[in-house]
Amino acid sequence: MAKKLSSWNLFVKKVYKENPGKTFGQCLKIASTLKNQGKMGNAKNMTKSKGKKKGKSRKSRR
């Protein structure tokens, strides 16, 4: 069974269909810009990266 496409993948496919003269790479850049502007639509499924996870720190081995 195939894996379900993420909301990002679906958004990129939508942008690609709306811009028939553009290459897929150009559409990825357009989609990225639109996402950063908050125009992706269903943004509640997208999570921002939280940076480094805070966990146990390594003690020095002296």
Q: What is the pLDDT of residues 6-62, one digit of tens each?
A: 999 999 999 999 999 999 999 999 999 999 999 888 644 444 554 555 666 666 666
Domain limits for position 26: 7-43
Q: Is residue 25 part of a domain?
A: yes
Residue 27 DSSP symbol: H
Amino acid 19: pLDDT: 94
Residue 51 within a domain: no
Identify whether 34 is part of a domain.
yes
Q: Is residue 2 part of a domain?
A: no
- How far is residue 48's CA from residue 38's CA, in Å, rounded to a whole number? 12
Residue 39 covered by a domain: yes
Residue 41: per-residue pLDDT: 80
Provide the pLDDT for residue 1: 83
Is 62 part of any domain? no
Where residue 22 falls (left for φ over 0; alpha for ψ -120 to 50; beta otherwise) is beta
Q: Structurally, how many domains does the chain consist of?
A: 1
Confidence (pTM): 0.61
